[in-house]
Amino acid sequence: MNPPGMTASPEFRAAGTDISERRRSGVSKGPLMDIVPAADILGMQWGADGTLRIGAYTSIAAIAADSAIAAAYPGIAASAQGLATPQIRHLATLGGNLAQRSRCWYFRNPHIACLKKGGTDCPARGGNHLYHVAFDLGPCIAPHPSTMAAALLAYDATVITYTRSGLSIPQVLGDGSNGAADNALQPGEMIRGIELPKALQGERAFYKRAISRSYAEWPLVEVCARAVVKDGTFQFIRLAAGGIAPVPLRLKTVEAALQGKAANALNIEVAAKFASSGARPLPMTGYKLDLLEGVVRDLLEKLAV
């Protein structure tokens, strides 16, 4: 519901590291609503059952530096440590990270129409889409920009808003088929926090990104991988990838190839090749599949040790 006197739903501003640039360029117009760091959206609360709730206004730096998160959910900590720059992480909030808008250069250009700005087609398809998707799942071909969304997907996290709870990451971000939006939140729906289930006994996790420069850039490909390896066997395996599709993707074919299998070099080599199962690369994005396969192989080798 809109506040009295407002006809359009306001766009929220948390730390403003994304929205400020869109306001300056004129891509974001209309009413703004500042989120204040109230107690219920700030910080972390551990449940007696080992679950964790993180408030939406919690900074990425706080998540990255928290030793209890690093112990229980190392893939969440590593993803937070790996994104953007120290300055951005210090300000950027978890809610803003999940709800940040596309980095597509056509979307960010105020003079070019696109599906996300009420246009009728995606100019990246016939234009320069070097950094765009390798899994073409919908009319807009920009990859989802949120590193934390991929990590939270790997951990089966749920999202709480002020009107709904228990939302999975696919419920919050959609399946990529709606080219007009970066997420499936309702107009004016504000993220309140996320909830993580209890960590599994003996699980380990790693995060890795392939990036076009070593610093201060969104990744070309990123993967958060978790596993429980016991008696030389993958007893649990989970991988979620970002940078490759309009939404973060679970790599279910890789998971299925390893679940219950020996954690050895041959099985890892075979499974890593499944990382591109279901891919539909664009003329300029086939290289992302090689990167994805390499990142997955590296992570599986680390998990198997």
Ligand X SMILES: Cc1cc2nc3c(=O)[nH]c(=O)nc-3n(C[C@H](O)[C@H](O)[C@H](O)COP(=O)(O)OP(=O)(O)OC[C@H]3O[C@@H](n4cnc5c(N)ncnc54)[C@H](O)[C@@H]3O)c2cc1C
Residues lying near ligand X in the complex (CB under 6 A): 11-19, 35, 56, 83-85, 88, 91-93, 95-97, 99-101, 145-148, 190-191, 216-219
User: Closer CB to ligand X, residue 217 or residue 290?
Assistant: 217
Least distance (Å) between residue 291 CB and ligand X: 15
Least distance (Å) between residue 170 CB and ligand X: 17
- CA torsion angle for 117, 32, 104, 177 (degrees, to 10)? -60
User: Closer CB to ligand X, residue 218 or residue 274?
Assistant: 218
Least distance (Å) between residue 44 CB and ligand X: 16
The pair phi, psi for residue 266, each rounded to 5°, is -65, -50
User: Closer CB to ligand X, residue 77 or residue 271?
Assistant: 77
8 A C-beta contact, residue 31 and residue 10: yes
User: Closer CB to ligand X, residue 147 or residue 285?
Assistant: 147
Tell me how far CA of residue 142 lies from CA of 67, 108, 118, 269, in angstroms: 34, 11, 15, 29
8 A C-beta contact, residue 73 and residue 199: yes
Residue nearest to ligand X (CB): 96
Tell me how far CA of residue 305 lies from CA of 18, 227, 229, 264, 301, in angstroms: 39, 11, 9, 9, 7
Residue with tokens 């610093």: 215
User: Closer CB to ligand X, residue 83 or residue 137?
Assistant: 83
- Listed residue (200, 292, 284) closest to 251, CA to CA: 292
Sign of CA dihedral 154, 156, 157, 161: positive
Least distance (Å) between residue 46 CB and ligand X: 21
The pair phi, psi for residue 135, each rounded to 5°, is -115, 100
Least distance (Å) between residue 143 CB and ligand X: 11
Least distance (Å) between residue 62 CB and ligand X: 12
